[in-house]
Structure 1
Amino acid sequence: MSGLSAELKQVFKEHGDQARPVNQAAVLGAGIMGGGITITNAAHGVPVIMKDIAQEQLDLGMKTASSQVDRLIKKEQMTQEQASQVLATIEPTLEYEGFDKVDGVIEAVVENLGLKHKVLDQLEAVVHDDTLIATNTSSLRIDDIGQHMKHPQRFVGMHFFNPVPVMPLVEIIQGTRTSDESVSTAVTWALKMGKTPIVVQDCPGFLVNRILTAYTRAFLQLVEKGADFEHVDRSMEAFGWPMGPAYLEDVIGIDTGSHVSDVISAGYPERMPHIENDAFRLMKSKDRLGQKNGKGFYEYTPDDSGRPQKHSSAEAHELLMEIQPDGQKDFSVEEIQQRMMLAMITEAVHCLEDKVVNSAEELDTALLMGVGFPRDKGGAMRYADSLGAKAILEQCEQYRHLGIQYEPTATIRKLAETGGSFYDEFPTGN
């Protein structure tokens, strides 16, 4: 937890004071995410039952776990003997045997509401009444998933990011019926796994993906207005992002990114209306899915070690001209950076105003750890404070003709008038 403020560490301590300990865990669903969550528990001293309905999925989950310990051995962070001991604490199973002894379960089955309802019904029948039940969902509402539960107060979201063993962030999502004790238990469990947990309220996209969707929609609008996506990528990489928005979508998978964008946008129809000329949708319709099939905004060929190498794609550029009704247009680096970052900042302020997250620091921590926000900028709110609310308001006025997503919020107007900061307006531990 080095690098976190004393205030945020105090928040975690307060959660620890009212949490129930999780000393024995279970993970339901043994795919890539389930396997990653399983080994993360085991590697931090929490024995775990990993259940699936298919033996091949269990095999995949154990393969994920084994490859992770192999990685730690290579980095000399674990000995072969320690690795064997860690793997021995994982119990793969096709049955619910032993679930009556677990303190916490993380459900990591596919994003299908009906399937999740069925699985949770089965779980509640076999675990203790006070066992914490968490769902690793990235797009479904916690209240929707837990609507039929007998004990909804012990149900919480634990949204891990992929790859689980590497990504430090876990969003802890509190539904309207989730008890504070369950939230504290999930926070403390995530800390035990070596993660940084940020508590957020239940809403479409939660926190990180909601803010990221505003950013990627700004990219889609730039492309629609004639911007060259490679120029946009270079501009955002110059700002400090590890990869530009087009390259990021190729890495995520354009089919996945398009679906997430559509689902979250539907939750905020005023600020995130339907985009007619949507580059993600176009790429997906042409089976250009990104790195997973070798062609997206860019084209990919494997290097000697099998890692995909990025190449410019004339075909992608030609394809995108179909959805640029006004033709191609040159945008300055400054305008691209302003439009991309302003969309992110205004959505972040909406999240704070909506009390989706408790403080500016927690919001920034989530962006730094969840999406690779440029570390030298400190997060969306730290960056906004470095510019000053008056400058943010001026940018909103400059770009508001592009849509309601650039409309300044009440807090932006207020802080521009008073000269106040977002960090003072939304303090940690308030």
Structure 2
Amino acid sequence: MATTVAYAKKLGKTPIVVNNCPGFLVNRVLFPYFGAFAQLIHDGADFRQIDKAMERFGWPMGPAYLMDVVGIDTGVHAQGVMAAGFERMQQSFPNVIEKLFEAGDLGQKTGKGFYLYKADKKGKPKKLPNPDIDRYISEVQPEQCPFTDEQIINRMMVAMCLEVVRCLEDKIVETAVEADMGLALGIGFPPFRGGALRYIDSIGVGDFVDLADSLIDLGDLYEPTEKLRELAKTGGSFYQ
């Protein structure tokens, strides 16, 4: 292990040692985020608004754009792995990502996903509106419903942040610093927010637990752990 860490440092990388579980650290915390995204669409949200809200929050790209870049097929496969490993990540509602997969619209690699992609003058894929996407969404979305950006951000971030808390409690990662660093370097978590656990601290652990409890009817992804509830009761934080 020490040899691997030293080699990564020589390559100019920042290694983070994690224990084994489905998805390790990065994918394990990313797929509750994608799950929240899929559930928002099912509940009536516009994916374009979700992308814009999360980009304004500080993410380099919204979840729809990110899924297109990762690859719809990769996302469907990884979601299956995560759902097999964690019951709370199983989805009981129809998912537009699966509809795109069935249609062969796999994102940038096929030129069509949530968005269309055409090469610009430099040969790089340029994101454009996809006129067919609303047809797929109508198959999984009973009706459109208005959401505020705050509601979108809360649903997306609480699902992800709670999974980071579970990773820390499960000893998948040893420290809050390493967990937050992994998110910043591995998935583009907004660096000025300091990471998921620092973000919880900025809200206040007690207020974060209250926020999660207000969303708990959405499913087990939004259930605070007992240790987190105890931390809230004692007025504690992840960083001292």
TM-score, normalised relative to structure 2: 0.97
1:217 maps to: 35
Tell me the distance in 1 between the aligned counterparts of 2:121 and 2:222.
Answer: 45
Q: Deviations over 1:30-54 (max 9, x none)?
A: xxxxxxxxxxxxxxxxxxxxxxxxx
Tell me the distance in 1 between the aligned counterparts of 2:164 and 2:58.
Answer: 19
How many residues in Structure 1 have an aligned counterpart in Structure 2?
240
- The yes-or-no answer on 1:295 pairing with 2:112 is yes
1:367 maps to: 183
CA contact (8 A) 1:236 1:337 kept: yes
- The yes-or-no answer on 1:385 pairing with 2:201 is yes
Tell me the distance in 2 between the aligned counterparts of 1:258 and 1:330.
Answer: 27
Higher relative contact order (CA 8 A, sep 6+): 2
- The yes-or-no answer on 1:254 pairing with 2:41 is no
Corresponding residue to 1:396 among 197, 204, 212: 212
Tell me the distance in 2 between the aligned counterparts of 1:227 and 1:330.
Answer: 6
- Matched residue SS, 2:27: helix
Percent identity between matched residues is 50
CA contact (8 A) 1:201 1:355 kept: yes
Tell me the distance in 2 between the aligned counterparts of 1:248 and 1:199.
Answer: 25
CA contact (8 A) 2:212 2:224 kept: yes
1:333 maps to: 149
Deviation at 1:252, TM superposition (A): 0.8
Q: Structure 1: which 5+ runs fail to align? A: 1-182, 425-430
Code of the residue aligned with 1:209 in structure 2: it is N
1:188 maps to: 6
Greater share of residues in helix: 2
Code of the residue aligned with 1:399 in structure 2: it is L
- The yes-or-no answer on 1:415 pairing with 2:220 is no
Matches within 5 A, 1:24-423: 183-269=1-87, 271-325=88-142, 327-423=143-239
TM-score, normalised relative to structure 1: 0.55
Deviation at 1:423, TM superposition (A): 2.5
- Matched residue SS, 1:299: strand
Tell me the distance in 2 between the aligned counterparts of 1:365 and 1:413.
Answer: 24
Tell me the distance in 2 between the aligned counterparts of 1:276 and 1:337.
Answer: 21
Tell me the distance in 1 between the aligned counterparts of 2:161 and 2:144.
Answer: 27
Deviation at 1:265, TM superposition (A): 2.0
Tell me the distance in 1 between the aligned counterparts of 2:207 and 2:100.
Answer: 36
Tell me the distance in 2 between the aligned counterparts of 1:333 and 1:289.
Answer: 27
Deviation at 1:274, TM superposition (A): 3.0
Code of the residue aligned with 2:139 in structure 1: it is E
1:67 maps to: none
Deviation at 1:314, TM superposition (A): 2.4
Tell me the distance in 1 between the aligned counterparts of 2:26 and 2:111.
Answer: 27
CA contact (8 A) 2:39 2:93 kept: no
Tell me the distance in 2 between the aligned counterparts of 1:252 and 1:275.
Answer: 23
- Matched residue SS, 1:233: helix
Tell me the distance in 2 between the aligned counterparts of 1:331 and 1:266.
Answer: 31
Deviation at 1:411, TM superposition (A): 2.3
Tell me the distance in 2 between the aligned counterparts of 1:191 and 1:378.
Answer: 22
Deviation at 1:413, TM superposition (A): 0.6
Tell me the distance in 1 between the aligned counterparts of 2:165 and 2:204.
Answer: 14
Deviation at 1:238, TM superposition (A): 0.7
Runs of 4+ in 1 over 6 A off after TM superposition: none
CA contact (8 A) 2:96 2:136 kept: no
Q: Deviations over 1:6-53 (max 9, x none)?
A: xxxxxxxxxxxxxxxxxxxxxxxxxxxxxxxxxxxxxxxxxxxxxxxx
Tell me the distance in 2 between the aligned counterparts of 1:318 and 1:279.
Answer: 10
Q: Structure 2: which 5+ runs fail to align? A: none
- Matched residue SS, 1:198: coil
- Matched residue SS, 1:196: coil
Code of the residue aligned with 1:221 in structure 2: it is Q
Tell me the distance in 1 between the aligned counterparts of 2:7 and 2:24.
Answer: 20
**Which structure would you say has the larger Rg?**
1
Greater share of residues in strand: 1
Code of the residue aligned with 2:166 in structure 1: it is H
Q: CA RMSD in A?
A: 1.0
Code of the residue aligned with 2:138 in structure 1: it is M
Structure 1 residues 198-207 or 274-283, which shifts more?
274-283
CA contact (8 A) 1:187 1:197 kept: yes
Tell me the distance in 2 between the aligned counterparts of 1:184 and 1:395.
Answer: 40
Tell me the distance in 2 between the aligned counterparts of 1:421 and 1:265.
Answer: 30
CA contact (8 A) 1:213 1:265 kept: no
